[in-house]
Amino acid sequence: MKIDYKKELETASKSMIMIHDPKLLIKLIVRMIVHKVHIKHAGMLLYEPKKDAYILSISRGEMGVRIPEGFARFPKDNPLIKIFVEREHKYLIEDKHALLMEDLNKLIWKESLIEGRRGTKRLLQEIVAQMPMLNAIACVPAYYQHNLLAVLLLGQKEDATRFEQEELDFFSALASDVAMAIRNAQLFDELKREADRNRNLFIQTTIALSSAIEAKDAYTHGHTERVTKYSIAVARHMDLHGMYRFPPKFFENLYIAGLLHDIGKIAVPESILCKTDILTPEEFDIMKTHTTRGAEILKPLTEFTQCLDGVKYHHERYDGLGYPEGLKGDAIPMVAAIIAVADAFDAITTDRSYRKAVNREAAIEEIRKNIGKQFNPLPAQALIELFERGEI
């Protein structure tokens, strides 16, 4: 039965984002590869900062072929690690005792120095000697912002056939998603520890986590910071002019909710996030899940419980035609209503993959026209007044 690799990648990506334990994450990924692709062995070398080395953290496959977890430890100068650190590649595969990767000939034969060529050849020869020990015929690196976080080790297929290009492309794309998920999981772990230790450091880690959202979509660079700034300004204007009475810690929770309102987009495929055409109904349904996904991601972190409403409901509409639950009027939490108008203002006034920005005056008119329809009148009016005063 032929495997639908695109579907498998989307399924794996969705499941990855919900797991906050890096080792559990890679355990599930390796298990999936062994069962779906039918290979005799798979493992993953995971970088552990405390040891400053790559450790074989997970190993799955047939008994007698599987390598014991923790058995292999690779420092950064190990040839198998060094070749991926010195130059980024999608994969490395052994074929009749030679190592093949994209641009390999260029790597060996077009180096400017003779000694460089010799050094590269020696490196490859040493890797050839290592791979049988790992029961691996292919290695796929997982990079996050040019940093090597892990190396996926792939053993021979059960039917002894070669890996097809489609399979190698799948492993490469999967490794990219694994790297992002590992980094996110590490950030969540840091977030939880810092929350227990120091509230200010907790906020700083929250900011770092929010930057991971924008790493997936270049068109939204700075979006979360601007939405947070607009949201706080709107709420303070409402408070100053007696438009609304806010509960204790509201501004702190609004700040965090603003930074993380789009965190669920980490679970949305980049092909949808960055699409330059209008989304199909099916794609838009996937995009809309970022609200509930975001709430699910943050739910285990008790520090965020009062911020979840802003994350989950910032796409609800005052007239009840929004999502995810179709809340109407004052049933929409005020934290979400404030983020909604700030989010819309920023979206209208910045370039997106599918359209150019609109000037700020036109954006304000759009906000004004939708008061009582898309937007709660209170935060919408506050935003308009701030713009007229030149304060945003």
> What is the per-residue pLDDT for 353?
60
> Which tokens in the block code for residue 228?
């947070």
Confidence grade of residue 246 (pLDDT, cut at 50, 70, 90): very high
Higher pLDDT among residues 91 and 239, named by residue = 239
**What pLDDT digit, counting tens, does each position of 253-310 carry?**
999 899 889 888 888 887 888 787 888 999 999 999 999 998 988 887 766 777 899 9
Nearest of 220, 233, 294 to residue 260 by alpha carbon: 294
- Coil vs helix vs strand at 241: coil
Tell me, what's the pLDDT at 242? 93
Strand arrangement of the beta sheet that strand 98-100 belongs to: 73-75, 53-61, 41-48, 147-154, 138-144, 92-95, 98-100
* pTM recorded for the entire structure: 0.54
What's the DSSP call for residue 269?
-
Q: So what's the pLDDT on residue 65? A: 44
Helical ranges in the chain per DSSP H:
5-16, 22-37, 79-86, 104-109, 114-130, 165-197, 199-214, 223-240, 250-260, 270-273, 281-288, 290-298, 308-313, 334-348, 360-369, 377-388
Give me the chain's average pLDDT, please: 79
Between 143 and 102, residue with greater pLDDT: 143
For the chain, percent of residues with pLDDT exceeding 70:
75
Q: Which residue has the higher pLDDT, 176 or 22?
A: 176
115: pLDDT strictly greater than 50: no
pLDDT of 17 higher than 50:
yes
- Per-residue pLDDT band for 108 (boundaries 50, 70, 90) equals very low
Q: Is the model's pLDDT at 385 over the cut of 80?
A: yes
Domains, the chain:
5-181 (3.30.450.40), 198-388 (1.10.3210.10)
The pLDDT of residue 98 is: 44
